[in-house]
Every structure is written in C-alpha cells, then in structure tokens.
Amino acid sequence: MTSDQDRLLDALKPPQPPPELRDRSLRAATDVLRRPPVPDRWTRIWESRPLRLAWAAAVAGLLVANTLIPTTPRPAPATAQGFSLHQLSRAAEDEIRAIATMPRLDLNARSLSGVVSAAAARTGAEETQSPNQKENA
Amino acid sequence: MTNPTISRVFISMETMVDEIPPTTDDRTAPARGAGWDLSAERWIALFASIARGEVAALHGLYDHAAHRLYGLALWRTGSPEDAADVVQEVFVKVAEQGRRLERVRNPRSWLLTVTHRLAVDLTRRRKVRQSEVLDEHPYLEADSGDAGRSVDARRASAHLAGLPARQRDAIYLRHFADCTFAEIARIVGVPTFTAASRYRLGLQRLRRLMEQEQ
C-alpha cells in the first residue's frame, strides 16, 4: 500500500454522532448497568432450589432402595475364569475328535492301507520260499 | 456456590448465542499503543471500571469511542438513524456484559466487532440498499471548515457509496479506526490476507472513480 493511497482520505473524517445519541445511549446502558445482574441459564439451573431438592430426593431414594431390596444369592458367573486349563483343553480335544472322526458307510470294509500291506506281506513270503516249496504249494 | 469452570464455559456459550465476541479470546492481541486517544492499558482500565458498575466510566467510554463506532455503523448501514440505533445497542451490550468485561484484552477491537456485527444484522433485517446515502448525511466530512475539502468529502462520500460494503468496512477500519489488517480480519471474520486485499481493492476503486470524475 503506497502512502499516496493512504493520503486519499486525509483531512476527512466520519461525521459526528447526533448530539441526542449520547443521552439516549447512556440512559439505556445505565439502566442495564444498575439492574441486578441476571444470571445465565446454567447458573440458574445450578442454583435452582427445586432442582437441588429433586437431586437430593433421587439420591435418598437410591440409598433407601439399596438398603431395603433383599439380596439373593447369585450363581457364580460363567466366565472364562470358572474353567480350568485342563477342562478347556479336554473340551477342545473332544470337539476336534468329533469333527475328525468320519462316519463309515460300510463297517466291514477294509481300509486301503490294510489291503496294500496284506498284499505286500504275501509277496514277500512268496519270494522267500524255495523252488521246492513253491512246487509243493 | 457456582462452579467457576462450569460458569466460564456457560458464559462463553451464551456470549456466542448473543453474537457477542467472547471476552476471553486469546487470539485478540493487546491493542497496539495509543488509539482513539487512549492507551491499551487505559482502555482495559475503562472496561474494568464499567465491569465494577461505575456509570462515570460508561460516560468516558462514550466520549472516547462513540464517534468511531458511529462512523463504522454509518458506513455499514448507510443510514444515520440505523447507525444511532447500532451505537445505542452497543452500549447496552457493554452494560449487559457486567463482570465479563474484565476479561476483554482488546476493548477497542471488541467494541468494533460488536458494532460491526450489530450493523450487519440491522442491514440484513431492514434490507437497506448500501448505495442509498443521502447527501445531507455523507460518509465523510472535512476535518476543518475548508470549503474545498468539504466538496472533496461530499465527492468521496458519493464514491464510497458505490463501493461494496466489505471494501468500505476495510477502508474505514484501517483508515479511521487505526486497525491493523490482523485486527480488521478478526473484526469482520475473514483471513488477514482477505482483509488487506479488500482494503487495497477498495482504495484502488475509489481512486479510479475519483480520477474518472476529474
């Protein structure tokens, strides 16, 4: 901003307020100033007598209810702390076993591994026999 | 029996509702040196006196501030009657603040902010056309009784009426209220760069209008 531009409005000033404005403004402001201060709404809530009584009554009611209501024995909470580690692992094993055990369609069927091993055993026995034994067989 | 922390929060909430700038605005820098014939310390002392309920301090505040506040309101509303209403409302707001005035760190800036907001509200309510400024109520008048300057003042007023209100606000606050661009920005609620830009563009336009006339 150049000083030339700043000089554009030199020697000029805004007009004076009307003379009667002084009395008007000061009278209105003085009236407000002399009024007792009006507390804001939160202060009014904080200092409200009915609200304090209501709060005290609610607290008293809770205390009475806490004293008078009979306490019944409650079952132990079923939390993880109620199980031992052994119980947990056994339960897990049972579950895994139930999943892994496949139902069999034919209860007399032999497993493939059983057939293979039986055949292998038979072949090995034949190889160890002497030619005479084979002829006899 | 009032919790001071809760009261402080609630007070600031209420001041926001009433569109009064918060009195504990940390962004408000202390007023720079002397302005409007008073030092920053004296402005603060004046507000503290009003906060204590001293009516004489209210009179002192009027003597020091009314001229500038009226000018700002007049430049924004374009109507002397509306400007007078705004100034009266500002003083009522000051009185309503009570003890909260003690927390105002820059009273001069605070007063201008309240004036600006009230003037903007009034203008919006009444839908006043900014360019309708009467010849007998110019925006400016000559500092002395110089007839030539009086003509200049009338011409400048006519050109100022043609400026956008935002640029006019910036020019007034900078040139007649001795505000920094940072203060103008806080008063009108824009970034500092925008405030400076409005001032520069406003002066450029004013100068162009005056040159065209010649």
pLDDT digits (tens, 9 = 90+) for B91-150: 999 999 888 899 898 999 999 999 999 999 998 887 655 445 555 568 888 777 677 777
Q: Map out the domains of chain B as residue ranges.
A: 37-129, 142-214
CB pairs under 8 A between A and B: 133
pLDDT digits (tens, 9 = 90+) for A49-105: 999 999 999 999 999 999 888 776 666 655 555 556 666 677 777 777 777 776 767
Of the candidates B6, B50, B139, which has its C-beta nearest A14's C-beta?
B139
CA distance, residue A61 to nearest chain B CA (Å): 25
Top CATH class of B142-214 equals mainly alpha
CB contact under 8 A, B59 and A14: no
A residues 44-103 lying closer than 8 A (beta carbon) to B:
46-47
Give this prediction's pTM. Answer: 0.63
C-alpha B55/C-alpha B50 separation (Å) is 7
CA distance, residue A75 to nearest chain B CA (Å): 44
Backbone Cα Rg of chain B: 18
CB contact under 8 A, A12 and B152: yes
Top CATH class of B37-129 equals mainly alpha
Q: Which helix (H) or strand (E) is A86 found in, with range?
A: helix A85-100
* B140, A9 Cβ separation under 8 angstroms: yes
CB contact under 8 A, B88 and A1: no
* B38, B64 Cβ separation under 8 angstroms: yes
CB contact under 8 A, B71 and A14: yes
Of the candidates A16, A41, A46, which has its C-beta nearest B67's C-beta?
A16
Q: Which residues pair with B35 in a beta bridge?
A: B38
Residue with tokens 């139930």: A98
Q: Which helix (H) or strand (E) is A12 found in, with range?
A: strand A12-13
Q: Which residue has the higher pLDDT, A81 or B7?
A: A81
Other beta carbons within 10 angstroms of residue A129's beta carbon come to: 12
Q: Which helix (H) or strand (E) is A54 found in, with range?
A: helix A49-68
